[in-house]
Structures are given as C-alpha cells and as structure tokens.
Amino acid sequence: MIVNTPEIKYVVDDYDFVFINGMVLPHTVNERVGDTIQFFDTAVVIHLAPKPSMTDSKVMLPAEDITIFKTHLAMQQHRVREVIEVSPEQQHEWTTTLKEISKTVQ
C-alpha cells in the first residue's frame, strides 16, 4: 500500500480517576476536538465535545459534561500520549479488509 498523505500527529491527555470504592473512571481529553478539563478546589469538570461513534463514524455521539467531586476520589492519574491519525489510504485498506473478512466468517 502506498500512502501519499502525510502523517497527522496530535497529543491527547488521558486521565484515570480512582474513587474511594475502587472504581476507576478513565477519560481521554482531546483539546483538538473541543474537549476541556477544569480543576476546581472541590471538583473536576470534564466537557467532552460531540464526536463520531467508534462503531459507526456516520453517527455522532452527543456532548457530555462530567463533574467529579474530589471528596469521592482516592487518586487521579494523568498521562500524555501522541496519536497518529489513520490516513485515508489506510482507512480504505482497513474497510476493504473488514468487508472481505466478514464475508468469510459466518
């Protein structure tokens, strides 16, 4: 496969919020699409912008606002990672391969 499109790289922030009952709430904040996170004295507020569904890119997931009160948190972890976007050529190859596989698996 020949890829003529240059790589598009961007950075996202991953947060893991661990509650005092042991439950973990992971979230990825992508400022590139309009996500924001704000830290206040008593709470963390996350706004997630509308984005395409992972299962069907034609369907948009609605925007979300999440408020996490710090009194319920045992810990929070923050990571930064670089994402390389899939090129149109790679998307086409992936779609073609999935269609072929779906015909053979029954």
Beta bridge partners of 45: 38, 67
Cα 92 to Cα 45: distance, rounded to the nearest angstrom: 37
Q: 105 — phi, psi (to 5°)? A: -95, 125
Q: What pLDDT tens digit does each residue of the chain (106 aa) get?
A: 666 777 788 999 999 999 999 999 999 999 999 999 999 999 999 999 998 887 777 889 999 999 999 999 999 999 999 998 878 788 888 888 888 887 776 5
Tokens (6 digits) for 2:
């020949």
Burial class (CB in 10 A: 0-12, 13-18, 19+), 62: exposed
Cα 58 to Cα 65: distance, rounded to the nearest angstrom: 22
Which of 87, 84, 91, 90 has its CA nearest to residue 11? 84
